[in-house]
Amino acid sequence: MEISVIGTGYVGLVTGVCFAELGNQVTCIDNDVKKISALKKMIIPIYEPGLEELVKNNVKKKRLKFNTSIKDGIKDSKVVFIAVGTPSRPNGEADLTYVENVARGIAKHLSGYKLIVEKSTVPVETGKWIEHTIKINNKKKVPFDVASNPEFLREGSAISDFMHPDRIVIGVQSKRAEGLLTELYRPLKAPIVVTDINSAELIKHASNSFLATKISFINAVSQVCELVGADISKVAEGMGMDKRIGRQFLDAGIGFGGSCFPKDVDAFIHLSEKSGYDFSLLREVRRVNERQKGYFVKLIEKKLWILKDKTIGILGLAFKPGTDDMRNAPAIDIIKMLQQEGARIKAFDPQAMEKAKEFLTEIKFCKDAYEVARDSDCLVILTDWNEFKEIDFKRIKKLIGQPIIFDGRNMYNRAAIEKLGFQYFCIGRK
Ligand code: UGA
């Protein structure tokens, strides 16, 4: 099928490339000229495992093209996905300016029937507004359909999540639209939930907010564990074995970050409020998440005493492993709090150091964990990168100023670390 995807961020680019890999003819469109000319040279703007290889493969096989113009890019497409950004406004509401602009752009260049599919995470009723915007700008009255098809991929495992989804959600208002999307997704052999557009939009908000709630719940329980001397990893294990609960997203730590959960929880709170429902449960989810970072800084302060002029070695900056994304990374707030107390910061992240420079200043970026550890007063783990499991702590012990580890992601085995002569502090675990 000929399709196009407007917006080449994480969701747009991965969607376009994966549909090409499934054998479709795909044009990825973005108004960022620099980004598109880089992509034409096969320079990928984001770090996502496996993405570069898939881009190269599909460009070579002539299934994947890039364009800056909506007019040229959608000309031959039957299905047009909208995957542009929906940033937060200061009040938490999603800013849909880009979505509206794109809808207007599509309407002006409709030639034959097209199915316009919103893939960006958007508030309920955005589908209706896209339809309305296209209708009023579609002077030649070309037939079209609008659908909602939220994406559930995670950064860091985006390609495999796209190719092996738990479910595909399709919100449609015509059989024609349902047929096109079902055909497009058939090769994935995943269960498809077909519903109305509003319900599809809500499924995305509710899913992300529920996962965020799970994380805040376990983080709150981790605080109680600290107070009563219980072990959060055992509590999560015991809870998670109940199939109705499940073990995933029960890892306590320094809280959730990224471009999705914080923004989506805010947007869901806002849209519920606008519709007349006070979603106070979700406000508490956000509060628990914010507090978790403060507790961790307090723990460091309690154990190091005065932070002024101490050197704190940070391992991990990205909001989670497998990505270079720094948006809403807990590391940003935690490092700023430590700097405010007068601490000096040294840091290493396998992928995110370049992007971290946009969010943080006065940091000595290091080439590896050993350089971070040299003469530092402690090591602080903020992202659970797999490669941090391979660190030679015997070597670290010889380099570090004070052998103290604060593990914000509960990565290490306490007994093994303490045996090497370190003091070890983590989140709610014995
Ligand atoms: C999230 C959802 O998981 C995807 O399904 C969704 O498509 C995506 O948002 C989106 O809306 O686009 P993502 O933000 O890439 O994906 O990352 P997650 O793997 O969900 O992690 C989010 C945050 O939660 C990270 O900071 C992670 O460290 C934290 N987390 C996750 C925990 O603190 N504990 C856990 O047990 C799990």
pLDDT for res 89:
87
* Closest to 309 in 3D by CA, of 272, 260, 345, 360: 345
Which segments of 298-429 are extended strands (E)?
311-315, 344-348, 363-365, 378-381, 404-407, 423-425
Residue-wise pLDDT for 224-259, tens only, equals 999 999 999 999 999 999 999 999 999 999 999 998
pLDDT for res 92:
79
**CA 138 to centroid of ligand 1, rounded, Å:** 38
Q: Which atom of ligand 1 is nearest to the CA of 320?
A: 28
pLDDT for res 47:
85
Residue-wise pLDDT for 408-426, tens only, equals 999 999 999 999 999 999 9
Residue-wise pLDDT for 336-378, tens only, equals 999 999 999 999 999 999 999 999 999 999 999 999 999 999 9
Mean of all residue pLDDT scores within the chain: 95
pLDDT for res 86:
87
pLDDT at 199 over 90: yes
Annotated catalytic residue: which of 260, 366, 378, 426?
260
For atom 5 of ligand 1, the residue with the nearest CA is 152
Residue-wise pLDDT for 164-175, tens only, equals 999 999 999 999
260 is catalytic: yes
**CA 42 to centroid of ligand 1, rounded, Å:** 27
pLDDT for res 46:
87
Q: Which of 129-143, 174-188, 236-250 has the lowest mean pLDDT?
A: 129-143
For atom 18 of ligand 1, the residue with the nearest CA is 154
Residue-wise pLDDT for 4-43, tens only, equals 999 999 999 999 999 999 999 999 999 999 999 999 999 9
pLDDT at 87 over 90: no
Q: Six-digit token pair at 360?
A: 């943080």
Distance between terminal CA atoms of the chain?
Answer: 55
Long-range contacts of range 194-198, CB-CB < 8 Å, 24 or more positions apart?
A: 194/170, 195/169, 195/170, 195/171, 196/171, 196/172, 197/127, 197/128, 197/146, 197/147, 197/148, 197/171, 197/172, 197/173, 198/124, 198/125, 198/127, 198/128, 198/171
Our mutation pick for probing the ligand 1 site, out of 84, 168, 215, 293, counting the most ligand atoms within 8 A of Cβ, is: 215
For atom 3 of ligand 1, the residue with the nearest CA is 154
pLDDT above 90 as % of the chain = 92
Residue-wise pLDDT for 56-69, tens only, equals 999 999 999 999 99
392 close to 404: Cβ distance less than 8 angstroms: no
For 136, the enclosing helix (H) or strand (E) is helix 126-137
For atom 23 of ligand 1, the residue with the nearest CA is 256
pLDDT for res 372:
98
Q: Hey, what's the torsion of the CAs at 273, 274, 277, 281, to 10 degrees?
A: -20
**CA 11 to centroid of ligand 1, rounded, Å:** 14
Q: Hey, what's the torsion of the CAs at 388, 389, 391, 394, to 10 degrees?
A: 140
For atom 19 of ligand 1, the residue with the nearest CA is 154
pLDDT at 70 over 90: yes
**CA 271 to centroid of ligand 1, rounded, Å:** 21
Q: Which atom of ligand 1 is nearest to the CA of 319?
A: 26
**CA 154 to centroid of ligand 1, rounded, Å:** 6
Pocket of ligand 1 (CB under 6 A): 121, 151-155, 208, 211, 215, 249-251, 253, 256-258, 260-261, 264, 319-320
* Closest to 332 in 3D by CA, of 391, 374, 290: 290
Residue ranges and CATH numbers for the domains of the chain are 2-195 (3.40.50.720), 196-430 (3.40.50.720)
pLDDT at 289 over 90: yes
Q: Which of 23-27, 125-129, 327-331 has the lowest mean pLDDT?
A: 125-129
